[in-house]
Amino acid sequence: MYDVVTFGETMLRLSPPDYRRLEHAYSFDLNAGGAEMSVACNVSRLGLRSAWVSRLTDNSLGHYIRNKAREQGVDTSHILWTKEDRVGVYFVEFGASPRPSRVVYDRAHSAMSKVKPGDFDWESILKDVKWFYTTGITPALSKSAADATLEALRTSRQMGCRVACDLNYRARLWSEDEAHKCMVPLMEYVDVLISTEEDTAKVLKITGESYQEVAKKLAEQFNFEAVCITIRTDLSVLRNQWTAIVYADGKVYDDTTYEVEIIDRVGAGDSFASGFLYGCIFGDVDKGLRYGNAYAALLHSVPGDINWCTLQEVETLIKGGGTRISR
Amino acid sequence: MYDVVTFGETMLRLSPPDYRRLEHAYSFDLNAGGAEMSVACNVSRLGLRSAWVSRLTDNSLGHYIRNKAREQGVDTSHILWTKEDRVGVYFVEFGASPRPSRVVYDRAHSAMSKVKPGDFDWESILKDVKWFYTTGITPALSKSAADATLEALRTSRQMGCRVACDLNYRARLWSEDEAHKCMVPLMEYVDVLISTEEDTAKVLKITGESYQEVAKKLAEQFNFEAVCITIRTDLSVLRNQWTAIVYADGKVYDDTTYEVEIIDRVGAGDSFASGFLYGCIFGDVDKGLRYGNAYAALLHSVPGDINWCTLQEVETLIKGGGTRISR
Amino acid sequence: MYDVVTFGETMLRLSPPDYRRLEHAYSFDLNAGGAEMSVACNVSRLGLRSAWVSRLTDNSLGHYIRNKAREQGVDTSHILWTKEDRVGVYFVEFGASPRPSRVVYDRAHSAMSKVKPGDFDWESILKDVKWFYTTGITPALSKSAADATLEALRTSRQMGCRVACDLNYRARLWSEDEAHKCMVPLMEYVDVLISTEEDTAKVLKITGESYQEVAKKLAEQFNFEAVCITIRTDLSVLRNQWTAIVYADGKVYDDTTYEVEIIDRVGAGDSFASGFLYGCIFGDVDKGLRYGNAYAALLHSVPGDINWCTLQEVETLIKGGGTRISR
Amino acid sequence: MYDVVTFGETMLRLSPPDYRRLEHAYSFDLNAGGAEMSVACNVSRLGLRSAWVSRLTDNSLGHYIRNKAREQGVDTSHILWTKEDRVGVYFVEFGASPRPSRVVYDRAHSAMSKVKPGDFDWESILKDVKWFYTTGITPALSKSAADATLEALRTSRQMGCRVACDLNYRARLWSEDEAHKCMVPLMEYVDVLISTEEDTAKVLKITGESYQEVAKKLAEQFNFEAVCITIRTDLSVLRNQWTAIVYADGKVYDDTTYEVEIIDRVGAGDSFASGFLYGCIFGDVDKGLRYGNAYAALLHSVPGDINWCTLQEVETLIKGGGTRISR
Amino acid sequence: MYDVVTFGETMLRLSPPDYRRLEHAYSFDLNAGGAEMSVACNVSRLGLRSAWVSRLTDNSLGHYIRNKAREQGVDTSHILWTKEDRVGVYFVEFGASPRPSRVVYDRAHSAMSKVKPGDFDWESILKDVKWFYTTGITPALSKSAADATLEALRTSRQMGCRVACDLNYRARLWSEDEAHKCMVPLMEYVDVLISTEEDTAKVLKITGESYQEVAKKLAEQFNFEAVCITIRTDLSVLRNQWTAIVYADGKVYDDTTYEVEIIDRVGAGDSFASGFLYGCIFGDVDKGLRYGNAYAALLHSVPGDINWCTLQEVETLIKGGGTRISR
Amino acid sequence: MYDVVTFGETMLRLSPPDYRRLEHAYSFDLNAGGAEMSVACNVSRLGLRSAWVSRLTDNSLGHYIRNKAREQGVDTSHILWTKEDRVGVYFVEFGASPRPSRVVYDRAHSAMSKVKPGDFDWESILKDVKWFYTTGITPALSKSAADATLEALRTSRQMGCRVACDLNYRARLWSEDEAHKCMVPLMEYVDVLISTEEDTAKVLKITGESYQEVAKKLAEQFNFEAVCITIRTDLSVLRNQWTAIVYADGKVYDDTTYEVEIIDRVGAGDSFASGFLYGCIFGDVDKGLRYGNAYAALLHSVPGDINWCTLQEVETLIKGGGTRISR
């Protein structure tokens, strides 16, 4: 029934405007931020049918987050509402060279960290679904969340739903060893891995001489259908380069490198995943790579984790649309 | 060394501007909010020397709160910093008739809720201090916070420091019975009680036919030096009346009733306490009542929990300064 | 499949903040405004399943409006998208006594004004729907829009879907005579009429000595199941009173009168209709009246046409919840 | 060539938004504020031809002020530009009961305070001009400014241009005695006096049992053609009543009293003068009184000293237009 | 009487702040935008006397636009006011690489698109005027607007007023063929053509190996006194290079290339034209080129279409003033 | 008792947001700005005990400035309050290439410009103080301020407190010759000179082939313990490079050059001085140089003159922390 179902936590995202520091702030811009909800929103914007599955506290803050997913056309009917626990919060300080941007988390004790196996009727949710998407953040939230993730992954495999996963290692949530111990068994259920070279080294302990070698090793060791390595070069805080490669079918696919001027870089990996899933559904991994890269490059130009760009903008960019004003 | 030392929790206060709802917000105004810190700030603004004692997470959010106390001249050197726990948050939605203003708390697991006896060197802090001030919120935070409060109160008594306490019952923190069981023993160490009729009924189980009777009963039962009952009449959400009475020395003192147009009503009780302490230090309970009322009335006209009005404005208001523009 | 389906135009609503005039503005707050979409959003907020049917230009402005309906859980899948025409705009200047608030319209040539019979598959849309809702604005947009309204009303009757209609006379769109000539034949298909005394006089040419008499005459002449007359008293620009009566089953129902402090009064009639439909579905016209009034009263306290208040707030208000801050 | 020429100082007006105090501000709203420029702008808005004469520092701040007059259609070609001195600044804190609004001036050493006789070619400026308008602020700025005012008033008399003057006593600029000594001789050249009862007592030492008596005494003692007494009643900081009376031709004219909800009360007297001049030019003192009062009442509803309301709004209000939203 | 008279449409310009997308906006910054009004404003800022001729709807939106021209000292007395039609609107989304900025127009049915021959007394308006300026947008608005443009151009020729014209091709208004058919005959009346290479290819069907060759061909084929080709290089969305060349008297003039950091790039061509006219009036085409380029380069650094920079800043830049802070 | 005492003027700093010009502003962001107060704040942020000595007008504007110093933990108890004079103001326009940022001063007649010898009890203030810091701005304010500066410097020497001084030449305050005549005698009391090559040429008339030579000449001629030359390269208005060298003990120390993306460049020299003093106190001139450079580089990334970065950020940057987002 859906093209894509995602599973994970969304937090309130609070960020002082105008490059102010948290200590210097008098106001915060409010957004909803979470990798898996972002992917559900993004693929809906690109034209796919999606649902986001999570556990949320039933107060105005939880409703705010649910609304922001609905605004993008995401099905939110599977959210598990609770009167307990809290909505996590994270704070973003935007930087400029030589000061990097910075995230301060206040996510402990959230409703989603208390999620557990049996909370969702995965068989019903995943019926006729093409892709299930989650990230390494979900199992990192707690032991019960890791168990719930495993339950969802197993059901995906049973239901014939392919699985894409971004490692998304978060050092504030667990150590590299904890991540390794938890994530490796989950890889059995993953069809497409999306990651950075840094995270594959930390979590899966795979390194190599080149991105290509890393991708190949990963695919072979974990029997992935495809491995995407996203590659960011930080020219400065406000100017980056973005590209990615894919290893699939014994081949490496690469793509153009985009110059990006950074308005808000949070969510680039999620946008890559979103474009990649879109491209795979309407084409192949090569199309996935090109749509993923273009959509991720565009993400940097808009505020917030959700990618407000459109399919048309993605396709114009892929065709070399240029940077002149569009009238 | 200080005129007033206060002890309690301060949270980030986030409020959508322009009467927006939390669900409808795109930004939050940021303030620091907590009854005891407000009192420390307010009495400093009025000209007293004050310190605020608390436990705070050592990150940008904790630093923000500390800075806001320092900005008002409060001594913050006794704050206990921790790398653990979190800074509590509360959200305020401002209302207009018939929709009341509303507070949503996200304060569980805060650094201050983990405070415990032995955390502070109260003998040193309270040396030569005239008044110790806390509220019923502090012991409500946790069992260990209640124990820490008791420790501070006992030391105050030992050191000859008088104690003022506002009951400040918070139903989200504990039940009326829990509050009763915890607060009654603490009353032994309290010299001046500040409260509303509603809270004295809930927490101390004292009711009466009139405010005067309630105050008298309280003073007699708990042997308080003075009992202040603050009295708010809600003509509408945006227009209230404010006054208070004091019972002391076997007498009831009353004062003018102020008409207030509400910009931000959070913190009125704290402002009363602040003005009351000022008046008592430089006069008597009658002066305390008049300064407390005037300062509390003025509080409603400024954004935030802290009362940015000045001693001169309090005294002009007491003298009947009027509502004409001051050029 | 839906509890409520609504049909009408939504415009961008641009309003200068802080009581600025249009000539004095440097920025506009942006909202989506349209009576019928507001009702679809509001009933969804109260817990009903709703859809909004309209015709919209397929650009970012149209998408913005669609998103705002989706954000509230409204089904927007029946919107007819067009590359032609434009998205209407209206400007609101908020006033304070003695300057009334003011609306400036720029709505000519909108996509919705070009709607015509046959544009929608009403039989499919209205299948198993409890209520169809539209207002006198929709037929006023153009001749073809009036024809399309008639088509929708006839299908409602055929499908057994009850019809509620607010007269909503707009002098900028048509004359009283034009409105009369168009609206009277449509009344045949209306089960519940919602209006003000002023509009019934202008459009239906029904007047009387009292609101009660007007309602009775309307019900008898047009054979309405129920007639709601909403009654606003302007104490000043920023303070109003609100109530309504219903005539049904040969009886007049009345309700409490609410004092309202006005943050944004646009959309009160829509909120009444929303609460009324909710109350009727889960009760009767009397419950409808009480929910409609309470929800309309609350509307004045929030910015925007959409009523961000909740069912719980409606029910607390009906029970006399008071204007004290809710902690 | 002009209907009205005005002469006086304009300052930058800086005011913290949202009822913040100066100490609590993080931003200021910027306006240009000065009684005489406001009158020039206001009468231009009402349809008259006007010029504003002043001395301004030739930097961006001076240009800002000039631009704001030009924006309203005022002729600014007579401004005397100087590289010396400064542009005065005043700060406004908006209040709410029981805290009155407050003005903090930083106007010393301004370019206009250095104005002196001979700076302007008054004969050329005042040729074929109907009304010259200034206030008691201009001579209060300095001895040379008082001399320059006298020069302008004398030339007005010679040129057959009628003179209107608002006493506008400012205690921060001079004492009541200084004002008295300076202003009394100037009254010889004034045809129409506009003032409050308080200012006539302070500056002209005229008091009486009633407004009417005060006006009559003034007219007789100083041989004024007309005396306008504006009358404000402060129900609260945010709610006032406004009216005025005129004494002319041996008669007292009075008018309706307006209830005003205050967004920004600075500039009401200037708006009265503006409407009064308009009414006199196109009618008589009675029309002047009604237009002055209505325009002054409307002033309270808009931010800034300049009255952004229109002639049509004035006339609608005079006809009893009501406080309902205008669609 | 004027140095420069311009003729064309101005719209409200609405742009979401902070690089937000239209779909993601909650507010719009408001400006007035239109090439010809910008030129009138800009040359007035540089010290010339200018008038702007247009047709505007007589409501608050039209008044806003008129005010913005007056604010800069532009004579707006020739505007033709109408109660009909509407004020056009355009929306700007600001981009960052790789997302280009984007304009969405909502300009159909505007008052200016209904302008027609005979609407203005051109002989009176153009009396003693040095330059008449319009762009290819004006004739593109409608057939009657094209006829009105022709009328103005013919009168300019008759009155001895030189004509400068920017091709300003807008694909949303007409096809290249339509533009070609309409514009070629108008070229007979144009003394100075200002354009980009792209637009001359599209509208006048002139191409060449180099900018120089294109300019020469244009001058020779249409007998222009001078041809200016503006040249923008898009290094990225936020960093461009700007220069221009002029062909006149059989010679090519060139100038320095400016590096520009883009705050708002809309209006650069208008700023070039403004500086060019200024330079020509007080010098020659070479001075025009240098002033045009410097003024256009500065335009990119300020928000809005109007160039708030000053003659002094232009001249400092030409002299190589540098990018250090000026204290 | 303090690590650092600073002496100088602080002004209100008003800056239009979003690169607007002063003429185009409708609001100003408010900060407190003054080199010496910034140094006191900055060193307090880095962990030192500091006091700021100044003379301030006792009104809300003066209190605002005092509060901003207190917020950072600076001791403000030595401020001399006066009812006279004014608080200076400066306006900042932020630029983008090719338009440089610009400062407009309105500082004449300030309270600090009236400071004079005898105003402060320097012996008491400087007791047990490690460093006294002032800049060439303080003596430039007036003759009496220069005398007061000399008094402070002499007392520092007597008390064994080392002196650091930034030349900070301000052409709006005095000519190069005036500066030379006043500053040279003060150099006798200075231990560490901080300056740019430009300012040493203008004020001390020392030039050289290289920064190193200039530093060496200065140290030798004036017998400085150390000379810091800060070096900024303006790649564009928004991108600069920053480094500095120190000459001490007959050696030149240099450091890495930082690429900086400019949010707000005002205060970089003050941040250098702050980091330099910190490094010297906890190390030596080499550590001072590295901490000064890193802290100055970070300053460019935050709004306002005060450097909201932390010691941890300085040390991370020195260690090559990189520009990746910190999670």
**Given an 8 Å threshold on Cβ–Cβ distance, is D96 in contact with B263?**
yes
Ranges assigned E (strand) in A152-301: 162-166, 192-195, 226-234, 239-248, 251-253, 258-261
Min Cα distance D234 → chain B (Å) is: 7
User: Taking the CB of residue B198, how many other CB atoms lie within 10 A of it?
Assistant: 12
Asked if the structure places residue D252 within a domain, the reply is yes
* Band (C154; pLDDT cuts 50, 70, 90): very high
Min Cα distance B304 → chain F (Å) is: 16
Asked if the structure places residue D242 within a domain, the reply is yes
User: Least CB-CB distance to B86: which of A22, A26, A106?
Assistant: A106
Q: What is the pLDDT of residue B234?
A: 96
Which positions of chain E have pLDDT values less than 50?
Answer: none
Asked if the structure places residue C97 within a domain, the reply is no
**Given an 8 Å threshold on Cβ–Cβ distance, is C28 in contact with E23?**
no
Three-state SS for E178? helix
Name the burial class of residue B84, with classes exposed (0-12), middle (13-18) and buried (19+) by CB atoms within 10 angstroms of its CB.
Answer: exposed
Asked if the structure places residue E2 within a domain, the reply is no
In whole numbers, what is the pLDDT of chain C averaged over residues? 97
Q: Is the pLDDT of residue D322 over 90?
A: no
**Given an 8 Å threshold on Cβ–Cβ distance, is A265 in contact with F325?**
yes
Structural domain including F199 reads 35-57+116-317
- Mind listing the pLDDT tens digit for each residue in B12-39? 999 999 999 999 999 999 999 999 999 9
Q: In the predicted model, what is the mean pLDDT of residues C248-257?
A: 97
Cα–Cα distance for residue pair F302/C162, rounded to 1 Å: 60
Cα–Cα distance for residue pair F49/F46, rounded to 1 Å: 9
**Given an 8 Å threshold on Cβ–Cβ distance, is B324 in contact with D97?**
no
Cα–Cα distance for residue pair B25/B42, rounded to 1 Å: 30
**Given an 8 Å threshold on Cβ–Cβ distance, is B326 in contact with D23?**
no
Q: For D224-248, give one letter per residue: b (16+ CB within 10 A) or e.
A: bbbbbbbebebeebbbbebbbbbbb
Min Cα distance D56 → chain C (Å) is: 24
Report the domain count for chain E: 1
Cα–Cα distance for residue pair A24/B63, rounded to 1 Å: 10
User: Least CB-CB distance to C28: which of E14, E59, E104?
Assistant: E14
Instruction: Give the neighbours of chain F: at least 3 Cβ pairs within 8 Å.
Output: A, B, D, E
Min Cα distance A67 → chain C (Å) is: 5
ipTM: 0.97
**Given an 8 Å threshold on Cβ–Cβ distance, is A104 in contact with B60?**
yes
Q: What is the pLDDT of residue B158?
A: 97
Min Cα distance C111 → chain A (Å) is: 21
Size of interface B-C (CB pairs under 8 A): 77
Cα–Cα distance for residue pair D104/D95, rounded to 1 Å: 13
* Band (B1; pLDDT cuts 50, 70, 90): confident
Catalytic residue among A270, A284, A286, A305: A270
**Given an 8 Å threshold on Cβ–Cβ distance, is B70 in contact with F71?**
yes
Q: Is the pLDDT of residue B323 over 90?
A: no
Q: Is the pLDDT of residue A322 over 90?
A: no
DSSP calls for C15-49: E-STT--GGG-SEEEEEEE-HHHHHHHHHHHHT--
Q: In the predicted model, what is the mean pLDDT of residues D250-264?
A: 98
Size of interface B-D (CB pairs under 8 A): 78
The dihedrals phi and psi of F29, each to the nearest 5 degrees, come to -80, 140
Cα–Cα distance for residue pair E184/E188, rounded to 1 Å: 8
Min Cα distance B68 → chain A (Å) is: 10
- Sequence letter at residue E134: T
User: Least CB-CB distance to E259: which of F18, F103, F236?
Assistant: F236
Asked if the structure places residue B278 within a domain, the reply is no
Q: What is the pLDDT of residue A323?
A: 86
Residue of E nearest to A258 (CA): E98
Mutation for D interface: B261, B271, B300, B318, most D CBs within 10 A: B261
Q: Is the pLDDT of residue C295 over 90?
A: yes
Cα–Cα distance for residue pair B102/B112, rounded to 1 Å: 23
Cα–Cα distance for residue pair C258/C293, rounded to 1 Å: 8
- Mind listing the pLDDT tens digit for each residue in C17-53? 999 999 999 999 999 999 999 999 999 999 999 999 9
**Given an 8 Å threshold on Cβ–Cβ distance, is C301 in contact with B20?**
no
Which positions of chain F have pLDDT values less than 70?
Answer: none
Of C122, C131, C128, C126, the closest CA to residue C151 belongs to: C122
Of C235, C309, C222, C326, the closest CA to residue C272 belongs to: C309
Q: In the predicted model, what is the mean pLDDT of residues C73-100?
A: 98
Tell me whether residue D270 is one of the annotated catalytic residues: yes
Helices then strands, counting H and E runs in chain A, come out as 11, 15
Ranges assigned E (strand) in chain D: 4-7, 11-15, 27-33, 50-53, 55-57, 80-82, 89-93, 102-106, 131-135, 162-166, 192-195, 226-234, 239-248, 251-253, 258-261
* Band (A170; pLDDT cuts 50, 70, 90): very high
Chain A CB contacts of F308 below 8 Å = 20-21, 23-24
Residue of C nearest to B22 (CA): C308
Residue of E nearest to F237 (CA): E323
Q: Determine the angle formed by the axes of helices C285-299 and C35-46, rounding to 10 degrees.
A: 110
* Number of residues assigned to chain A: 327
Q: In the predicted model, what is the mean pLDDT of residues B60-75?
A: 98
Q: For F198-215, give one letter per residue: b (16+ CB within 10 A) or e.
A: ebbbbbbebebeebeebb
**Given an 8 Å threshold on Cβ–Cβ distance, is E70 in contact with D68?**
no
Three-state SS for D108? coil
Q: What is the pLDDT of residue C173?
A: 97
D198: part of which helix (H) or strand (E)? Answer: helix D197-199
Number of alpha carbons in the 13 Å side-chain half-sphere of residue F104: 18
* Band (A183; pLDDT cuts 50, 70, 90): very high
Q: In the predicted model, what is the mean pLDDT of residues B126-151?
A: 98
**Given an 8 Å threshold on Cβ–Cβ distance, is F60 in contact with D21?**
yes
**Given an 8 Å threshold on Cβ–Cβ distance, is F87 in contact with D109?**
no
∠ CA A18-A19-A25, rounded to 5°: 80
Cα–Cα distance for residue pair B153/E229, rounded to 1 Å: 82
Is F125:F133 a contact under the CB 8 Å cutoff? Answer: no
**Given an 8 Å threshold on Cβ–Cβ distance, is D323 in contact with C236?**
yes
Chain F CB contacts of B72 below 8 Å = 67, 70
Rounded to two decimals, what is the model's pTM? 0.97
**Given an 8 Å threshold on Cβ–Cβ distance, is C321 in contact with B101?**
no
In whole numbers, what is the pLDDT of chain B averaged over residues? 97
Catalytic residue among E270, E284, E286, E305: E270
Q: Which residues in F have their CB inside 8 Å of a CB on D?
A: 14, 17, 21-23, 25-30, 59-61, 63-64, 67, 86-87, 89, 91, 93, 104, 106, 108-109
Q: What positions of B carry a catalytic annotation?
A: 270
Chain C CB contacts of E89 below 8 Å = 89, 106
DSSP H helices in A165-248: 176-186, 197-199, 211-222
Min Cα distance F148 → chain E (Å) is: 25
**DSSP secondary structure code for residue B31 in this structure:** E
Q: Which residues in F have their CB inside 8 Å of a CB on B?
A: 67-68, 70-73
Asked if the structure places residue C95 within a domain, the reply is no
Residue of E nearest to A239 (CA): E97
Asked if the structure places residue D91 within a domain, the reply is no
Residue of C nearest to B237 (CA): C323
Asked if the structure places residue D23 within a domain, the reply is no
Residue of B nearest to D173 (CA): B327
Residue of E nearest to F267 (CA): E325
Q: Is the pLDDT of residue D326 over 90?
A: no
Q: Is the pLDDT of residue A242 over 90?
A: yes
Catalytic residue among D119, D166, D270, D305: D270
Mutation for E interface: C56, C57, C58, C59, most E CBs within 10 A: C59
Q: What is the pLDDT of residue A75?
A: 98
Chain E CB contacts of A308 below 8 Å = 20-21, 23-24
Q: In the predicted model, what is the mean pLDDT of residues C113-122?
A: 98
Residue of C nearest to A67 (CA): C71
* Band (B61; pLDDT cuts 50, 70, 90): very high
Q: Which residues in E have their CB inside 8 Å of a CB on C?
A: 14, 17, 21-23, 25-30, 59-61, 63-64, 67, 86-87, 89, 91, 93, 104, 106, 108-109
Instruction: Give the neighbours of chain B: at least 3 Cβ pairs within 8 Å.
Output: A, C, D, F
Q: What is the pLDDT of residue F176?
A: 98
Mutation for E interface: C11, C22, C63, most E CBs within 10 A: C22
| CATH number of the domain residue E24 falls in | 3.40.1190.20
Q: In the predicted model, what is the mean pLDDT of residues C104-116?
A: 98
B261: part of which helix (H) or strand (E)? Answer: strand B258-261
Is A226:A166 a contact under the CB 8 Å cutoff? Answer: no
- Sequence letter at residue D86: R
